[in-house]
Amino acid sequence: MIGVKTENGLPVLPPIGVLDELLDDIQLKIFQYCNKIEPRYIPKIEIVEYQGVNLVYLKCAAGDVGPYQAPVDVYSKKEAGKEQDRTMKYWIRPASLTVEAKQSEVAELFEKFATIPFVDRINSRASMEHIRRGYLEDFIRESNSSLIEELNVRSLEDLLVSEEVAEEKDEGIAIKNIGLLMFGERPDKLIAGSKIELVRFHDKEAEASDFTEKTFYGPIWKQVRDALDYIKTTVIEEKVIKVDGRAEADRFFNYPYNALEEALVNAVLHKNYKEDVPVEIRIYLDQIQIINFPGPDYYIDKEKFAAGKVRARRYRNPKIGEFFKEIDLSEKKSTGISKILRELKRNSSPMPEFETDADRTYMITTIRIHERFEIENKNFGQKNDRSLTEVLTEVLTKKNYDKVLPILKYLDKNGKITPQVAEMVIKKSKSTTYRYLTMLVETGYVEVSGNTNNAVYKLSKG
């Protein structure tokens, strides 16, 4: 960001900005400097007005034709009788430092760029019909992008190109895999493993037939949030215990939400999307497992990884990390494991377990239930002891509960309901009825069978 002073690595506000008459000159110089990079690399340059001043915003997305070299001497001018040093070298940026890459690191760079990362590749089967503009607009608004002001005047194709998830070709717009993953209606139809599968066991025996299955589709960032909302609504519980002689009670959760959030984000962020294997969430009575494929890279020491002391030298899906960071799903600073440890410790929960094999083909993150929660008293086995309406007063907000109450009463009495009957019961439109029924399914207490035309909603077996 050009036009903002920094002090100890933090921005000094209000920004001083860039004078109008300097904007063109700065952009010209940026192009001149970038022309010294081999292969040529040009970042995305944008003029942003912020707090009444102009700023020059550079977005340097990962390139796909590197590794890149730059001169040792970039800035100094050529002096009389002295040649400017045009020695070209490879550079890397660990933390906030720019340093020359060592021989082993140069080898890694060449290995990285030997093939274009899967998420950056053009998907030849993708078309504009696979992209949902609503998801893209929601993302742009949430990320507070400067594109917000242009949503009403820019075409979907223009927005995709601006977000660097599609390219303009002679034959039209070519959509990248990252475009499908971030803004696709059903990316799993073209990238088979891009979904989250959840299984929740309602019995002490994991092999028992009493379980609930749920699959989350849509953009991967929405999958993460939908899965977390489901867990937050139906699994996470808080316990308050009054301590004699102390004014403050002990408050803790069976599972700390922030730790689960970080574990799931890590799984989605580091998954290999070339593999036809989804991210899995397995919820047992005493633990939650999050599984992704493959496991951590070979250079990562298992013990240091489990202790949260690893700093990644490279990321499997940097583009996904950049997008997740824009909506605060990821910090992209290799702090995921340490955050999980911190949140579990804060909740006085058992430390997590990280399991992988010698070939690093998978990764299982296990988060165990808080020791002071009694498994026997959990609601898993209580659904049939209380009416559905009674149970869902604790799960849904009052506003949503009032909306679906007529359907709940019908289900409590009859055990099942069709969309057609539900539409008559609540006297709402077909789309509104479907939304209410979906809300009930997402609680885990109602399940659906059949296809759209002959769907039947009934009480969950659990």
Distance (Å, rounded) from C-alpha 200 to C-alpha 443?
12
Strands 353-355 and 363-368: antiparallel
What's the half-sphere exposure (Cβ side, CA atoms, 13 Å) at 217? Answer: 9
Distance (Å, rounded) from C-alpha 65 to C-alpha 47?
26
CA pseudo-torsion sign 139, 141, 142, 146 = positive
Question: Residue 376's pLDDT is what?
Answer: 41
- Residues facing residue 50 across a β-bridge: 53
Helix axes 318-326, 257-269, angle to 10 degrees: 140
Question: Residue 318's pLDDT is what?
Answer: 86
Q: Quick check: helix, strand or coil at residue 89?
A: strand
Residue 104 burial (CB count, 10 A): 7
Question: Residue 241's pLDDT is what?
Answer: 77
Specify whether the CB–CB gap between 431 and 423 falls below 8 A. no
Distance (Å, rounded) from C-alpha 316 to C-alpha 266?
11
DSSP 345-367: HHTTPPPPEEE--TT---EEEEE
The position carrying tokens 């995709």 is 160
Q: Which candidate, 234, 196, 163, places its Cα nearest to that of 396?
A: 234
Q: Which candidate, 227, 199, 212, 371, places its Cα nearest to that of 289?
A: 199
DSSP E strand boundaries for 60-147: 69-71, 88-92, 99-100
pLDDT in tens, 414-444: 888 898 898 988 888 888 888 898 888 877 7
Strands 69-71 and 456-459: unpaired
In sequence order, which ranges of 151-294 are alpha helices (DSSP H)?
Answer: 156-162, 177-183, 220-234, 257-269
Question: Residue 393's pLDDT is what?
Answer: 73
The pair of structure tokens assigned to 280 is: 């899995």
Specify whether the CB–CB gap between 256 and 228 falls below 8 A. no
Question: Residue 335's pLDDT is what?
Answer: 62
Specify whether the CB–CB gap between 426 and 437 falls below 8 A. no
Question: Residue 366's pLDDT is what?
Answer: 95
Distant-in-sequence, close-in-space partners of 159: CB < 8 Å, separation ≥ 6: 133, 136, 140, 147, 151
Q: Which candidate, 333, 201, 219, places its Cα nearest to that of 266?
A: 333
Specify whether the CB–CB gap between 214 and 460 falls below 8 A. no
Specify whether the CB–CB gap between 254 and 172 falls below 8 A. no
DSSP 182-223: HHBS-GGGTSTT-SEEEEEE-SSSTTSS-EEEEEE-SSHHHH
Question: Residue 55's pLDDT is what?
Answer: 94
The pair of structure tokens assigned to 91 is: 């550079």
pLDDT < 50 stretches in the chain:
80, 375-385
CA 296 remoteness from chain centre:
18
pTM above threshold 0.75: no
Distance (Å, rounded) from C-alpha 259 to C-alpha 231?
12
Residue 371 burial (CB count, 10 A): 11
The pair of structure tokens assigned to 177 is: 């895999």
What's the half-sphere exposure (Cβ side, CA atoms, 13 Å) at 447? Answer: 12
Question: Residue 402's pLDDT is what?
Answer: 85
Question: Residue 381's pLDDT is what?
Answer: 41
